[in-house]
Amino acid sequence: MNLTLHVWRQKDARTPGRFVTYPAKDVSEDMSFLEMLDVVNEGLIGAGQEPIAFDHDCREGICGTCGVVINGRPHGPRDRTTVCQLHMRSFRDGDTLTIEPWRARAFPVIKDLIVDRSAFDRIIAAGGFVSAPTGGAPDANSIPIAKEDADLAMDAAACIGCGACVAACPNASAMLFTAAKVTHLALLPQGQPERYLRVGRMVAQMDAERFGNCTNHRECEAACPKAIPIETIARLNRDFLRAGLRGERKAAAGGAG
Amino acid sequence: MELKANIPGGPIEKKWEQHRFDMKLVNPANKRKYSVIMVGSGLAGGAGAAAMAELGYQVKCFCYQDSPRRAHSIAAQGGINAAKNYQNDGDSVYRLFYDTVKGGDFRAREGNVYRLAELSVNIIDQCVAQGVPFAREYGGLLANRSFGGALVSRTFYARGQTGQQLLLGAYQALERQIGLGNVEMFPRHEMLDLIVIDGRARGIVVRDMVTGEIETHLADAVCLATGGYGNVFYLATYAKGCNATAIWRAYKRGAAFANPCYTQIHPTCIPVTGDHQSKLTLMSESLRNDGRIWVPKQKGDRRAAHDIPEGERDYYLERMYPSYGNLAPRDIASRAAKRVCDEGRGVGETGFGVYLDFGAAIQRLGESVIGEKYGNLFEMYECITGENPYQVPMRIYPATHYTMGGLWVDYNLMSTIPGLHVLGEANFSDHGANRLGASALMQGLADGYFIIPYTIGHYLASTKQEKIDPSHPEVKRAEAVVAERVKRLLGIRGKRTPTSFHRELGRIMWERCGMARTDAGLKRALDEIPALRQQFWQDVNVVGDGTSINQSLELAGRVADFLELAELMCLDALERRESCGGHFREEFQTPDGEAKRDDEHFCHVAAWEYAGPDRRPNRHVEPLAFEHVHLTQRSYK
């Protein structure tokens, strides 16, 4: 099949970008979307032009590195799929595709289709963990966890941190990403001691990174390649509210020593 | 070059315990005075950086990806082994040790493997404490499944995303340390050289992949956890960015490279469809718990799978290896697949494929049970091939998946360059000539969480070092070498893309140094590779400049290193005149086609020492002794 691509090209973070049109010829339906871009790039290099820069790594839908907006949809037309797993059989001969980077204030474009998503790392660093220093763990079977809780935690933990939720959201909110981690850890006994501290710190960092707020559009859930449900956002909100009601709790005598 | 493995004496069960006591310690208040560099942020690197920072060392961690959470450990699907014996099926530390030594075809160190088996139980405890959501039974206890090369169920898993969940556990521990200011993280930085001063590793030269700036970072010790080099084959299950550059530069600075020819070809990957293909996708080995592997009995049978009656199917693994059946180890299962395809009994359009059939399991257990166990893998398969594995059998074929070879390290994970430590897949140590399924995650985390935090302290406490100034002539020299190389790559402006060279190298390696190797083929490769390398340096076209993100430049640098490493792999394969594990030399096989070892001449580690450009490297030998698991021909029949 033959396609026409309108691709966002931008030299670096400081230089304004623009759309450039390229033909993609003799595309096989067995190619992945990124392999189609590889072929276009080989042609560009052959013509002495700079190839289109895009982030990618594992190419099996799990590392979360890749991600572009295709005709307005993050990761393209197929549900629950990253662009590296999107195959060209999802398109038709003669299609015109507009390919853009994630658009969000907190994700500045650094070249062509590549954005800086380090804000996500800082949200995790603010509290998205269990403080369990290496070496002091009890036997793994000493705390039974109901299968249902483990399964729900796993659903939330499946987030790959690609950023499609932010790109899909009209407010460029990072609520689904943040809520997925809050939910994963809040469902497990290991996550309880820091549960309310965690949610407060992660939300504060999310705001500091200038992500927008959630106004229940549910676009994030539709775009998520791992189908993280927005129930996680409800759980985050509940924990955030409780954290506020609990307030700051301080021992009178400066702690247990 | 002397290869001192430094394996402690005493009974095997006590070696690590005794060694931990014998190693020197650094006073807690002094730890913050020491700085350590970690290159790589996967299971070994992420865990190691976090664990060392928890102890108080000042850690700088580097990765080429945009975030430490993306390291390719994340793609491991099936699981992680641990000798917990939660299933009451006869497992023990000793049995895991035994299975691993035997699985590695008697080419690993007993002392290291025993320690690995011992630490496996701590890993599971640690990961659960971090909140890793492993699969559980209804009673709330942890679930297990079986993997190849074992007769017990000792594999812990989180759906088909075990590597992801373990990596996120390590990543969160690392981010916690970053948040506390104990680790400084450098994403989108690529290590391009090692700085060695007075014979010790003292720092690295990196390129900031966003600005193109060449930077130097100095420290009291350097750790490499940069993964394997399987992308030398171009088509592999590795992430596209995985590369050998860090370990290759260390090799050229004096670190010995051990057993480079030991590569693992994984039996269950989705077959190649065409020339555009950029990578191969693995289908977890865990599928072999319930899937049955078969091909038609008759050559050239082109009927659709469901039109071939039961009596005309050859379940060849079950036939050839009745006791292990579909769970035969990877090297054996891969070679068997190659053999049936070479006989003309392969399936699919290309004839390079075999069926992995869930029909019987679905009939027995129902679609929902199979879906719960393997749903995400089935989805992934359908996404790539357009076929529904609930209805038609999967087609699979072997592909490069892991490298058991790597930089030589002693029991303390230190290379032949003092101060340079190597962790995880980047080192050579624990798997011998073949790695068993679910053991890579175990080794990465053992190295990172439980070994390097101890051995790094021992090194620092027993070494007196001067502070290094960034203006040191060795630093300047290493920086200049890196800058010159970047300039040279950008200046060639030839006609061929870096990818075209990579693809051609991959074809040579797959044909001559892949699943089956011969004296003649390897010698041919040793002519072809230098010629291709020469052509590369004359005709590669790297467009753009070096002052911003330039993915062609990154790739060209990696391909240039693969073009050198490939030669060493072939040389090592040629010199190892025996078959063992993943290294199969056609000249050395038993009458029924199994790998035939030569323990008299090759029961050793081969470690190669760089001797200068265009000079043959020196081959050194570390003999292996087997006191507990006696040398026998492996049998899975």
Per-residue pLDDT of B425-482, as tens digits, reads 999 989 999 999 999 999 999 999 999 999 999 999 999 999 999 999 999 999 999 9
Per-residue pLDDT band for A257 (boundaries 50, 70, 90) equals low
Are A63 and B70 within 8 A, CB to CB? yes
Q: In chain B, what percentage of residues exceed pLDDT 70?
A: 100
Instruction: Indicate the burial class of B386 (C-beta count within 10 angstroms; 0-12, 13-18, 19 or more).
Output: exposed
Chain A CA closest to residue B541? A45
Q: In chain B, what percentage of residues exceed pLDDT 90?
A: 93
Shortest Cα distance, chain B CAs vs residue A87, angstroms: 7
pLDDT (tens digit per residue) in B408-437? 999 999 999 999 999 999 999 899 999 999
pLDDT (tens digit per residue) in B549-586? 999 999 999 999 999 999 999 999 999 999 999 999 99
N residues, chain A: 257
Can B292 be counted among the known catalytic residues? no
CB count, 10 Å around CB of A186?
Answer: 23
Shortest Cα distance, chain B CAs vs residue A187, angstroms: 9
Query: With 80 as the cut, is the pLDDT of residue A255 above it?
Result: no
Which residue among A48, A57, A61 sits closest to B543, beta carbon to beta carbon? A48
Query: With 80 as the cut, is the pLDDT of residue A256 above it?
Result: no
Tell me which of A134, A148, A177, A183 to substitute to probe the interface with B (most B C-beta atoms closer than 10 Å). Answer: A134
Which residue among A62, A120, A144 sits closest to B139, beta carbon to beta carbon? A144
Are B164 and A116 within 8 A, CB to CB? no
**Per-residue DSSP letters for B235-261?**
SSSS-TT--SHHHHHHHHTT--EE-TT
Q: Return mean pLDDT, chain A.
A: 96
Can you count the helices (H) and strands (E) in chain A? Answer: 8, 7
Superfamily for the A118-246 domain? Alpha-helical ferredoxin (1.10.1060.10)
Report the alpha-carbon distance of residue B377 to residue B394 in Å, rounded.
11
Report the alpha-carbon distance of residue B387 to residue B633 in Å, rounded.
40
Per-residue pLDDT band for A248 (boundaries 50, 70, 90) equals confident
Q: Return mean pLDDT, chain B.
A: 96
Query: With 90 as the cut, is the pLDDT of residue A250 above it?
Result: no
Which residue among A50, A129, A133 sits closest to B544, beta carbon to beta carbon? A50
Instruction: Identify the CATH number of the domain defined by range B473-599.
Output: 1.20.58.100
Strand order in the sheet with B214-218: B189-197, B200-208, B214-218
Mean of pLDDT values over B486-515: 97
Those residues whose C-beta lies under 8 Å from the C-beta of residue B489, and which sit 6 or more positions away, are: B540, B542, B553, B556, B557, B560
Report the alpha-carbon distance of residue A197 to residue A203 in Å, rounded.
10
Q: State phi, psi for B429 to the nearest 5 degrees.
A: -75, -45
Catalytic residue among B69, B202, B330, B517: B330
Tell me which of A9, A129, A226 to substitute to probe the interface with B (most B C-beta atoms closer than 10 Å). Answer: A129
Determine the pLDDT at residue B592. Answer: 85
Query: With 80 as the cut, is the pLDDT of residue B285 above it?
Result: yes
For the A3-110 domain, the top CATH level (class) is: alpha beta
pTM score of the predicted model: 0.97
Are A141 and B131 within 8 A, CB to CB? no
Query: With 80 as the cut, is the pLDDT of residue A123 above it?
Result: yes
Those residues whose C-beta lies under 8 Å from the C-beta of residue A150, and which sit 6 or more positions away, are: A188, B133, B134, B135, B136
Compute the count of residue pairs across chains A and B with CB atoms less than 8 Å apart: 219
Q: Return the domain boundaries, chain A.
A: 3-110, 118-246
Instruction: Identify the CATH number of the domain defined by range B267-394.
Output: 3.90.700.10
Q: Which two tokens stand for residue B341?
A: 């395809």
N residues, chain B: 637
Determine the pLDDT at residue B153. Answer: 95
Determine the pLDDT at residue B49. Answer: 98
Query: With 90 as the cut, is the pLDDT of residue B635 above it?
Result: no
- With contacts defined as CB-CB under 8 Å, which chain A residues touch B173? 129, 132, 134
Determine the pLDDT at residue B376. Answer: 81
**Per-residue DSSP letters for B374-422?**
HHHHHHHHHHHHS--TTTS-EEEEEEEEEES-EE---TTSB-SSTTEEE
Determine the pLDDT at residue B178. Answer: 98
Mean of pLDDT values over B477-496: 97
Are A130 and B172 within 8 A, CB to CB? yes
Q: Which two tokens stand for residue A118?
A: 């380090």
Q: Which two tokens stand for residue B96?
A: 């895991």
Mean of pLDDT values over A148-165: 97
Chain B CA closest to residue A43? B497
CB count, 10 Å around CB of A74?
Answer: 27
Query: With 90 as the cut, is the pLDDT of residue B526 above it?
Result: yes
Per-residue pLDDT band for B246 (boundaries 50, 70, 90) equals very high
Determine the pLDDT at residue B4. Answer: 96
Q: Return the domain boundaries, chain B.
A: 267-394, 473-599
Which residue among A32, A51, A138 sits closest to B552, beta carbon to beta carbon? A51
- With contacts defined as CB-CB under 8 Å, which chain B residues touch A86? 383
Chain B CA closest to residue A40? B276
Is residue B170 within 8 Å of residue B43, measured between CB atoms?
yes
